[in-house]
Amino acid sequence: MKTAYNPIKVFHPGETLSEKLSEMEMTVAEFATQAGVPVFVVEAIIAGNMSITAELALAFEQVTQIPAHYWLNAQHSYDEYLLQHIANTFRDRLIESQEQLANSIVHSFIYTPQTQHYAYA
């Protein structure tokens, strides 16, 4: 049987970028200038509000020396985690609402063994 690796939490690659900038002792503005991207884009990525595209991954590689494929894989893993989390949340809510509906139907009809009939409660 094949088991899948399902981490509890996956971090947005912006967190890695933030840590790398600290390690390099570089400001967001300096990094943005060297990478050739607007400051607001770097800030949005660090905040986890923007995805890293292939073009950004190449620009980040030039400055951080972290391969572009790392940035793209990190983004892909984060996106997949979010989709699975959303799907699981939706599934759990659907199951919960189905259970509530089933319980309300069961409580609406009460079987009385004496008369062998169902009666509305």
Q: Torsion angle, CA of 45/5/69/88, rounded to 10 degrees?
A: -40
CA 50 to chain centre: 13
Residue 36: per-residue pLDDT: 98
Where exactly are the structural domains of the chain? 13-114
Residue 86: per-residue pLDDT: 78
Q: Return the structure tokens found at 68.
A: 């572009």
Residue 90: per-residue pLDDT: 66
pLDDT truncated to tens, each residue of the chain (121 aa)?
A: 555 556 567 899 999 999 999 999 999 999 999 999 999 999 999 999 999 999 999 999 999 999 999 999 999 999 999 888 777 776 767 677 777 766 666 555 555 566 555 555 5
What values do phi and psi take at 94, rounded to 5?
A: -65, -45
Is the alpha carbon torsion for 89, 92, 95, 99 positive or negative? negative
> Homologous superfamily of 13-114 in CATH?
lambda repressor-like DNA-binding domains (1.10.260.40)
Residue 82's contacts (CB-CB under 8 Å, 6 or more residues apart) are none
